[in-house]
């Protein structure tokens, strides 16, 4: 049962990026800079929400420390991204991608809220692994290739090692929990 | 460009000096009687004095004479061209220096693929910088002398820490994105450290 839940959560997170991009309708227009900025902001704030829930619910010190790092890091990236958008006179713009990120995030929060103890810890960490994998994939395939503004591109490139670090950290904890 | 402009100004000043000097060398300049020094030929009085620079038909010789507008214009142009070329060279050098300074102080959001020049770096400056960039301490290992200070500069988008492995004197607390933290080392030894938020980030200070 637990395995099925874990699989469901993992695939839901992956769907947020990959399915939206690979629809059978004609290829969606690549995001513009304002949409890229909003995707970054949404991706960060969704992970902050996951982290806040984990800090409240977990009894595991490792998971708690990880969740606190997620909150700290993604809040900081959001602050820099917001400041950059303001500096560039850019209003971040919602897109199908950012909207489905948010709605999938909300659904996952609802699922995780209903869980407790070790089951919660595993589900949270499994989701973090899948989530960071899909964000890195989106960065490499969609956001970085389409970013036009040089400073926005720099921000995305500086953000990439953050997601790599988080993914590696999450995988270590995932291995210790299973 | 400003270097070129200042060269032109100096050139003009030099002209007025030589003009004064020229007048001092000769009796008062009387345009109605042209007198050329150092030549055998006596020219009849002309309303327009002969140019200061002229070429003898048989031998190429620059003969001196009274300073005229044409002379001034000639030397003015020569000095201006020389000054312009020299100034351009200076400003090219200046631009090169400015570019290399800009490259070295690349801010956090720059996407530089940073490669440390060598694993260990020796420093004799009183405050030595260590960059925290793209989730690495750069340089990873640094050697300093007793009494020197290291300043860790966080060029990343997220906070980091500089914390001693085990028991140790390095305990920066959270260093925000864009902020920095200094520590002065008063005893010799090896000081391994890491980032408590991102434990894969490691560094070493060697104090001699």
Q: Is residue A125 part of a domain?
A: yes
pTM score of the predicted model: 0.63
Choose which CATH entry (3.40.50.300, 2.60.40.420, 2.60.40.10, 1.10.10.10) describes domain B120-207: 2.60.40.420
B110 and chain A in contact, CB less than 8 A: yes
pLDDT, tens only, A105-130:
999 999 999 999 999 999 999 999 99
Over range A156-170, report the average pLDDT.
96
- Which chain A residues touch B111 with a CB distance below 8 Å? 153-154, 157-158
Q: Looking at per-residue confidence, does A6 or B66 come out higher?
A: B66
Are B197 and A69 within 8 A, CB to CB? yes
Q: Looking at per-residue confidence, does A102 or B30 come out higher?
A: A102
CA distance B11 to chain A (A): 44
Q: What is the pLDDT of residue B19?
A: 41
Q: What is the pLDDT of residue A120?
A: 97
Over range A31-40, report the average pLDDT.
96
Q: What is the pLDDT of residue B71?
A: 85
| pLDDT at residue B1 tops 80 | no
- Which chain B residues touch A145 with a CB distance below 8 Å? none
A72 and chain B in contact, CB less than 8 A: yes
Kindly indicate the confidence band of residue A18, based on its pLDDT and cuts at 50, 70 and 90: low
Which B positions 160-199 lie with beta carbon below 8 A of chain A? 174, 176-177, 197-199
Over range A36-43, report the average pLDDT.
96
Are A169 and B176 within 8 A, CB to CB? no
CA distance A30 to chain B (A): 22
Kindly indicate the confidence band of residue B114, based on its pLDDT and cuts at 50, 70 and 90: very low
Q: Which long-range contacts (CB under 8 A, 24 or more apart) does A16-21 make?
A: A16/A100, A16/A101, A16/A104, A16/A105, A16/A134, A17/A97, A17/A101, A17/A134, A17/A135, A17/A137, A17/A138, A17/A142, A18/A134, A18/A137, A20/A96, A20/A97, A20/A100, A21/A97, A21/A138, A21/A141, A21/A142
- Which chain B residues touch A162 with a CB distance below 8 Å? 135, 156-158
Q: What is the pLDDT of residue B117?
A: 45
Highest mean pLDDT among A1-15, A23-37, B139-153: B139-153
Are A154 and B134 within 8 A, CB to CB? no
pLDDT, tens only, B29-81:
444 444 444 444 455 555 555 555 555 555 556 656 667 888 888 888 888 88
Which B positions 24-63 lie with beta carbon below 8 A of chain A? none
Kindly indicate the confidence band of residue A10, based on its pLDDT and cuts at 50, 70 and 90: low
Q: What is the pLDDT of residue B119?
A: 56
Pairing of strands B120-122, B141-144: parallel
Query: Which domain covers residue A93, as residue numbers?
Result: 2-9+32-177
Q: ipTM of the assembly?
A: 0.82
Give the separation between CA B103 and CA B95, rounded to whole angstroms.
12
Q: Is residue A72 part of a domain?
A: yes
Give the separation between CA B48 and CA B32, rounded to whole angstroms.
8
Q: Looking at per-residue confidence, does A19 or A145 come out higher?
A: A145
Kindly indicate the confidence band of residue A178, based on its pLDDT and cuts at 50, 70 and 90: confident
CATH code (residue A119):
1.20.1260.10
- Which chain B residues touch A151 with a CB distance below 8 Å? 109
- Which chain A residues touch B131 with a CB distance below 8 Å? none
Q: Looking at per-residue confidence, does B166 or B24 come out higher?
A: B166
Q: Is residue A40 part of a domain?
A: yes
Q: Is residue A96 part of a domain?
A: yes
Kindly indicate the confidence band of residue B168, based on its pLDDT and cuts at 50, 70 and 90: confident
A168 and chain B in contact, CB less than 8 A: yes
Are B135 and A162 within 8 A, CB to CB? yes
Domain ranges of chain B: 2-104, 120-207
Q: Per the structure, how many domains does chain A have? A: 1
Q: Is residue A145 part of a domain?
A: yes
Give the separation between CA B79 and CA A172, rounded to whole angstroms.
72
Q: Number of A:B CB contacts under 8 A? A: 51
Over range A165-178, report the average pLDDT.
95
Q: Is residue A16 part of a domain?
A: no
Q: What is the pLDDT of residue B73?
A: 81
């Amino acid at each position: 049962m637990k395995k099925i839940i874990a699989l469901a959560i993992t695939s839901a997170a992956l769907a947020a990026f990959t399915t939206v991009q690979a629809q059978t309708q004609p290829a969606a227009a690549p995001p513009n800079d304002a949409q890229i900025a909003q995707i970054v902001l949404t991706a960060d704030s969704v992970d902050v929400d996951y982290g806040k829930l984990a800090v409240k619910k977990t009894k595991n010190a490792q998971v708690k420390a990880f969740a606190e790092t997620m909150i700290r890091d993604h809040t900081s990236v959001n602050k820099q991204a917001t400041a950059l958008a303001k500096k560039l006179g850019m209003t971040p713009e919602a897109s199908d991608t950012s909207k489905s990120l948010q709605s999938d995030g909300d659904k996952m929060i609802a699922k995780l809220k209903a869980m407790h103890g070790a089951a919660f810890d595993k589900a949270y960490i499994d989701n973090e692994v899948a989530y960071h994998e899909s964000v890195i994939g989106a960065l490499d395939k969609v956001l970085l290739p389409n970013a036009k503004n040089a400073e926005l591109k720099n921000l995305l490139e500086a953000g990439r090692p953050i997601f790599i670090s988080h993914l590696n950290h999450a995988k270590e904890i995932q291995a210790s929990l299973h | 460009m400003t270097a070129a402009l200042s060269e032109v100004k100096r050139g003009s000043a030099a002209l007025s000096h030589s003009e004064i000097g020229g007048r001092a060398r000769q009796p008062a300049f009387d345009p109605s009687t042209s007198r050329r020094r150092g030549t055998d030929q006596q020219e009849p009085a002309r309303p327009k004095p002969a140019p200061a620079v002229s070429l003898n038909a048989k031998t190429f010789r620059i003969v001196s004479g009274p300073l005229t507008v044409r002379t001034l214009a000639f030397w003015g142009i020569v000095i201006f061209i020389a000054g312009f070329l020299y100034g351009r060279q200076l400003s090219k050098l200046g631009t090169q220096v400015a570019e290399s300074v800009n490259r070295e102080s690349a801010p956090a959001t720059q996407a530089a693929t940073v490669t440390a020049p060598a694993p260990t770096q020796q420093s004799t400056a009183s405050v030595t910088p260590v960059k925290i960039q793209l989730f690495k301490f750069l340089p990873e290992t640094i050697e300093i002398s007793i009494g020197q200070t290291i300043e860790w500069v966080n060029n990343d988008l997220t906070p980091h820490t500089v914390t001693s492995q085990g028991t140790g004197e390095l305990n920066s607390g959270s260093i925000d994105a864009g902020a920095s933290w200094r520590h002065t080392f008063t005893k010799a030894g090896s000081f391994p450290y890491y980032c408590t938020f991102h434990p894969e980030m490691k560094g070493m200070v060697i104090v001699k």
